[in-house]
Amino acid sequence: MSKLLGKSIVGFSRSQSDEPFTQAVNPATNEPLEPQYFTAAGDEVARALDLAEKAFPIYSSLPAAKRVEFLRRIAELIEQAGDAIAERGVQETGLPEARMRGETGRTTGQLRLFAALIEEGSWVDARVEIAQPDRQPLPKPDLRSMKRPLGPVVVFCASNFPLAFSVAGGDTASALAAGCPVLVKAHHSHPGVAEIVGNCVEQAARDTGMPEGVFSLLYGGGRSVGVAMVEAPAVQAVGFTGSRSGGTALMQAAAGRKQPIPVYAEMSAVNPVVLLPEALTERGEAIAEGMLTSLTMGVGQFCTNPGLIFMPDSAAPAFKEKLSSLVAEAGCGVMLNAGIAKAFRESTAAIEKIPGVKKLAAADDAGGNCASPAVFSVSVETFLSTPDLQAEMFGPATLIVEGSMEQIEQAIAGLEGQLVGTIHGTEAEIKQYTSLVKTLEGRSGRLVFNGFPTGVDVCHAMVHGGPYPATSDGRSSSVGTMAIDRFCRPVAWQGFPDSELPQELQDANPLSIWRLVDGERSRESL
Amino acid sequence: MSKLLGKSIVGFSRSQSDEPFTQAVNPATNEPLEPQYFTAAGDEVARALDLAEKAFPIYSSLPAAKRVEFLRRIAELIEQAGDAIAERGVQETGLPEARMRGETGRTTGQLRLFAALIEEGSWVDARVEIAQPDRQPLPKPDLRSMKRPLGPVVVFCASNFPLAFSVAGGDTASALAAGCPVLVKAHHSHPGVAEIVGNCVEQAARDTGMPEGVFSLLYGGGRSVGVAMVEAPAVQAVGFTGSRSGGTALMQAAAGRKQPIPVYAEMSAVNPVVLLPEALTERGEAIAEGMLTSLTMGVGQFCTNPGLIFMPDSAAPAFKEKLSSLVAEAGCGVMLNAGIAKAFRESTAAIEKIPGVKKLAAADDAGGNCASPAVFSVSVETFLSTPDLQAEMFGPATLIVEGSMEQIEQAIAGLEGQLVGTIHGTEAEIKQYTSLVKTLEGRSGRLVFNGFPTGVDVCHAMVHGGPYPATSDGRSSSVGTMAIDRFCRPVAWQGFPDSELPQELQDANPLSIWRLVDGERSRESL
């Protein structure tokens, strides 16, 4: 790999700023990693915004085939940088190499999925209404509509996914696919991986003839660089994955603009798991084994981590006993950075102090930036009367809530919005507890039956979203092809000459896409 | 028609409050109309909210066929009330009977369009991914998703469309179709029409066995009733058509909630019309005639009214002369209420005082609540340096802006978001001015070529929306079948038994809807 420079990528050039921003730290050793990273200067941020604004009309007017080339070239270059990413990623995050390789594959897979989506083309939801000049009482005009990109998008890298939710992650891939230039704000925890991937995107933009400004990568503080970009008039949408405080700050900044803009913030969730009695009797130990894997995957640093487990207090003890013994023996994992490790220690210490909460088990604390997996329990009565027990403990800790099924349904009805709601039961039980399932549906973006919430497949049907505060906007998904809709708006053309319409709306349907023609789905020409 | 009671409809009962809210006034005569209308009491608003919240899980779980019956029954009952609506509507709005009849037809047409949409069923965007247990490196789970309703929706009646954007208008029809209970806040200008239509919706709900609370109609002030509902935790979305100040107040209330919710506010627009030189030479007078019709339709009280006309200062004089003479001879029309008539007089008086603005023509002012159509002109230089000239004059007044085509494109680039952008030109000209058309697309929800912005066809391809401040959320349309998407969010089911999935996602595809199965469109069973 080429030497890391520590500099922001502003269009096709590098920042000249010498104001220090951050230096990465290996969380396993607390040793700083070279090089020093510098904050983008104010005029450099302004230049990145200006380039993005100028790039938008050019980039958004390119044929989809050109954007396909760009996305595929990014994927190729990231693959070529796989060794460098794995090496630096392990140093910066404490995560194992296999995870880095896997996440790199997921990231290039996402880029190629969006390339395939826009190559096929039907995602634009093209609608054609043919003129009826003789319609009574009024003639019907020729009217055609499709989705068009919103404009420049700011993407914030996530701490917990240095690749799949960062520089060229799902937000960037879906925004670029839609036709929006992207300005990425790097995360201070993994600036080196960001630079390696940023170089790939910039190189791909040059290789495929994209306009300068289609992509920039900025280093700097949340206030001086991040919020400044969200408040810039050129920016038309925001993608964010992180804390609730960070996400709500961006929502407020966006709502306070002269022109408010959409913010897609994925924030916090505890992802309730409901264990029904017969399932617990039939396979309590097996559920406990699956739960441990889900709970400790990525050292518990997944937004879909199972942080809350509801079960009847009359259930057989196998599940609790098995989960407790597995947790007690579980290894400690290095967390992403010292701040996250500290916050995890604090949140598990805090929950233990709440009256009525019992610590069932915890692994020995290996110290440093390690997280010690832990499982707590509490009665549903205490849960219902203690709103703090809904708070996310970001890391490998979970809270078992026990009570009657009636009380459990009441507790679920009182939950905030969640990314995932999970149920374990027999087929007879899921038919029996329809009201509970319905209640859980109302709180969740995705429902899982007899599985675990972690593991978010990147496909057409995935919904990685959910009611507030799981996300700022439950009407969307940040994973899978649905994510492209976030960066678009519909535009209609009335009475236009065929040659002046976008190809997607022309009579001949030259791209052979699926369209809604007078209300009927068709991929024919008119 | 049955006697008007002046009372809110709270579920299936009537308000008992005796606190006066408003009495309608005939704007043509300034005479008050019986009866007195009463403000819903605080506990009645709370009861309507509670009923809506309780109705939601029931209503949203009904088979679409039941909601189809409900919508069609509403349409039937409104048709049966056509004479009463026309009589009261003319009295309350000053609009002619033909308009009342036409708008009633549009309203029942909208209800039936949404009934047909959900009867066909493919609008839910069902997506199915079939499990691949042997996929490497990870098994692929069975994953299926579709759109589900958000929850109770508050709809604000619009002053300027007592039927099509009011009690059973587009917002209500689309929300009910989606599966959301609706709480309507009546407009003080036409409470009687609201009551007649509200009675139809309530009767239809009873006739078709809908749960109480699927619909309520509340009378009262914007603060005590309207904002109170927007702030209520049970409410999950808001539909509004009205002023920018009203819409932004609701946006702030919604953003300030513990759980922020989407607001679909259609606010203000001046809907620029660009006249290209050859079109002006070829048919300047004909364009002027069409413009007058568009400008004065509904006494200029349409959100799509052409309030801004750009034309080259070198153009032939025919258009300006003809439009001026037509405006001078145009009849005055009674506006919807005294407040709107006063605001129109003030806005035309204010624009005349801006240095550089010339009044080209105005019809004689017939006094009272009449609006006198007027046309003003200004140079593009003055327009560019005077942001106030972008403000909407709600009524039959327009401003002609003259300059070079370069300056005109610059002025368009500086415009706020609009519902409609219109261009008149020859086919050669539209090919020549591609950059201008692109700029106009960036500011508009709908582009019209050689037509006029008024007249919003209710169909699948309509986009009645546009970037802020034309609407609060340019990612949607408030007219046409796309409007249903505003009140939904996607939900995914992972690993569920076939029988426990919504019908739309079951293997057999019992509703024969179009689905995306492993990325391929299909209406087959699996």
Residue of B nearest to A430 (CA): B500
- Cβ neighbours around B501 below 10 Å, total: 18
Tokens matching residue B526: 């699996």
Q: Which of B303, B332, B370, B488 is catalytic?
A: B303
| Residues whose CB is less than 8 angstroms from the CB of residue B315 and which lie 6 or more positions away in sequence, other chains included | B275, B277, B280, B281, B284, B402
Q: pLDDT over 90 for what percent of chain B?
A: 97
**pLDDT number for residue B223:** 79
Chain B interface, mutation test: which of A494, A496, A500, A524, most B Cβ atoms within 10 Å? A494
The shortest CB-CB distance from B459 to any of A143, A417, A451 is to: A143
CB neighbours (10 Å) of residue A208? Answer: 18
Residue A299 maps to a domain: yes
- Identify whether A490 is part of a domain: no
The one catalytic residue in B103, B266, B402, B409 is B266
Q: Measure CB to CB from residue B138 to each of A417, A455, A482 and give the nearest one.
A: A455
CA atoms within 13 A on the CB side of B51: 21
Residues of B in contact with A437 (CB under 8 A): 500
Contacts of A137 in chain B (CB under 8 A): 102
Q: Is the pLDDT of residue A439 over 80?
A: yes
| B337/chain A closest Cα distance in angstroms | 28
User: Do B227 and B85 share a structural domain?
Assistant: yes
Copy the structure tokens of residue B297.
Answer: 């339709």
Check whether B10 has a pLDDT greater than 70. Answer: yes
Q: What are A440-466's pLDDT values in tens digits? A: 999 999 999 999 999 999 999 999 999
Nearest residue to A297 (alpha-carbon basis) of A166, A456, A424, A89:
A456
Do B181 and B288 fall within a single domain? no
Bridging pattern class, strands A153-156 and A182-185? parallel
Measured in whole angstroms, the distance separating CA A498 from the mean position of its chain's CA atoms is 39
- Once rounded to an integer, what is the mean pLDDT over residues A28-32? 96
Q: Which residues numbered 146-205 in B keep a CB inside 8 Å of some CB on A? A: 148, 150-151
B135 touches chain A (CB under 8 A): no
Count CA atoms closer than 13 A to A507's CA, side-chain side.
Answer: 10
**A466 within a domain of the structure (yes/no):** no
The total number of residues written for chain A in this structure: 526
Asked if B482 reaches chain A (Cβ–Cβ under 8 Å), the answer is: yes
Q: CA-based angle A240:A448:A316, to the nearest 5?
A: 125
* Closest-CA residue to A493 (of A59, A127, A63, A121): A127
Q: Are residues B292 and B430 in the same domain?
A: yes
Measured distance CA(A471)–CA(B489) in Å, rounded: 12
Mean pLDDT value across chain A = 97
Closest to B45 (Cα-Cα) out of B227, B237, B218: B218
B127, B447, B450 ranked by CB distance to A460: nearest: B127
> Is-cis flag, bond preceding B137, omega within 30?
yes
Is residue A407 over pLDDT 90? yes
- Does the residue A495 lie in any domain? no
Cα of A508 to nearest chain B Cα, Å: 18
pLDDT at B272 over 90: yes
At residue B382 the predicted structure's pLDDT band, cuts being 50, 70 and 90, is very high
User: Quick one: B66 and B111 in the same domain?
Assistant: yes
Range list of β-strands (E), A181-271: 182-185, 215-218, 237-241, 263-266
In a domain, A511, yes or no: no
Q: Are A291 and B504 in contact (CB under 8 A)?
A: no
In this structure, is residue B470 part of a structural domain? Answer: no
Q: What distance in Å separates the CA atoms of residue A249 and residue A245, rounded to the nearest whole number? A: 6
**Residue of chain B whose alpha carbon sits nearest to that of A144:** B461
Digit-coded pLDDT (tens) for A140-167: 999 999 999 999 999 999 999 999 999 9
Q: In CATH, what number is assigned to the domain containing residue A355?
A: 3.40.309.10
| Collapsed DSSP state (helix, strand, coil) of residue A450 | coil
Is the per-residue pLDDT at B121 higher than 90?
Answer: yes
- Assign A346 to helix, strand or coil: helix
Q: Is B157 a catalytic residue?
A: no
Q: Are residues A228 and A319 both part of a single domain?
A: no
Query: Can you give the residue range of the structural domain that contains A368?
Result: 272-449
Q: Which of A449, A466, A494 is the last residue of a domain?
A: A449
Tokens of B328: 């001078």
- pLDDT at position A268 is 86
Cβ pair B234, B51 in contact under 8 A: no
User: What pLDDT digit, counting tens, does each position of A475-524 carry?
Assistant: 999 999 999 999 999 999 999 999 999 999 999 999 999 999 999 999 99
Interface of A with B in 429-448 (CB under 8 A): 430-431, 434, 437-439, 441-442, 444-448
Q: Which of B228, B289, B199 is nearest to B46 (CA)?
A: B228
In DSSP notation, B253-320 reads HHHTSSS---EEEE-----EEEE-HHHHHHHHHHHHHHHHHHHHGGGG--TT---EEEEETTS-THHH
Residue A510's CB: how many other CB atoms inside 10 A?
A: 10
Measured CA to CA, the distance from residue B169 to residue A255 in angstroms comes to 28
Looking at every residue in chain B, the average pLDDT score rounds to 97
Say how far apart CA A184 and CA A301 lie, in whole Å.
Answer: 22
CB pair distance less than 8 Å for A145 and B462: yes
CB distance from B489 to chain A under 8 Å? Answer: yes
- 3-state secondary structure at position A334: strand
Is residue B346 assigned to a domain? yes
Same domain, A122 and A246: yes
Does one domain contain both B172 and B320?
no
Q: What is the pLDDT of residues A299-321, one digit of tens each?
A: 999 999 999 999 999 998 999 99
Are A467 and B488 in contact by the 8 Å Cβ rule? The answer is no
Q: What string of DSSP letters covers B372-441?
A: --EEEEEEHHHHHH-GGGGS---SSEEEEEEE-HHHHHHHHHT---EEEEEEE--HHHHHHTHHHHHHHH
What does the pLDDT look like over A196-248, one tens digit per residue? 999 999 999 999 999 999 999 999 988 789 999 999 999 999 999 999 999 99
Query: What are the tens digits of pLDDT across the range B152-191?
Result: 999 999 999 999 999 999 999 999 999 999 999 999 999 9
Same domain, yes or no, for B254 and B283?
no
> Where are the strands (E) in A460-505, listed by range?
488-494
User: Does A519 contact B460 at a Cβ distance shorter than 8 Å?
Assistant: yes
Q: From residue B455, how far is each of A408, A435, B296 by CA, in Å?
A: 53, 46, 12
B94 located within any domain? yes
Going B443 to B449 to B452 to B454, the CA torsion angle's sign is negative
Average pLDDT for A69-78: 98
Which B positions 333-372 lie with beta carbon below 8 A of chain A?
A: none
Q: Report the alpha-carbon distance of residue A56 to residue A277 in Å, rounded.
A: 56
User: Predicted ipTM?
Assistant: 0.97
Residue B1: pLDDT band (50, 70, 90) is low
Q: Which residues of A are catalytic?
A: 266, 303
What is the domain count for chain B? 2
Does residue B311 sit in the same domain as residue B251? no
In a shared domain, residues B174 and B148? yes
For B331-380, the pLDDT digits (tens) are: 899 999 999 999 999 999 999 999 999 999 999 999 999 999 999 999 99
A39 neighbors A220 (Cβ within 8 angstroms): yes
CATH number, domain with residue B243: 3.40.605.10
Give the pLDDT confidence score for residue B268 in this predicted structure: 86
> Does A514 touch chain B if contact means CB atoms closer than 8 Å?
yes
- Which tokens hold the place of B423? 């261009």
B464 neighbors B455 (Cβ within 8 angstroms): no
Contact between A251 and B251 using a beta-carbon 8 Å cutoff? no
Q: In this structure, what is the dihedral angle of CA atoms A428, A431, A437, A438, given to the nearest 10 degrees?
A: 180
Q: Are A401 and A378 in contact (CB under 8 A)?
A: yes
Q: Which of A139, A137, A134 is nearest to B101 (CA)?
A: A137
Could you tell me if A219 and A293 lie in one domain? no
- Say if residue A317 is in the same domain as residue A439: yes
Residue A337 confidence (pLDDT) above 80: yes
CA dihedral for A10, A14, A19, A20, sign (positive or negative): positive
- The length of chain B is 526
Q: Which residues, 6+ apart, have CB-to-CB distance to B333 below 8 Å?
A: B94, B296, B299, B300, B370, B371, B396
Closest CA to B96 of B293, B305, B333: B333
What would the pLDDT profile of B456-507 be if each residue is shown by its tens digit? Answer: 999 999 999 999 999 999 999 999 999 999 999 999 999 999 999 999 999 9
pLDDT in tens, B183-231: 999 999 999 999 999 999 999 999 999 999 999 999 998 878 999 999 9
| Helix boundaries (H) for A179-234 | 191-207, 228-231
Of chain B residues 113-132, which have a CB less than 8 A from chain A? 120, 122, 127-129
Average pLDDT over residues B124-144: 96
Helix (H, G, I), strand (E, B) or coil at B451: coil
CB distance B126 to B520 below 8 Å: no
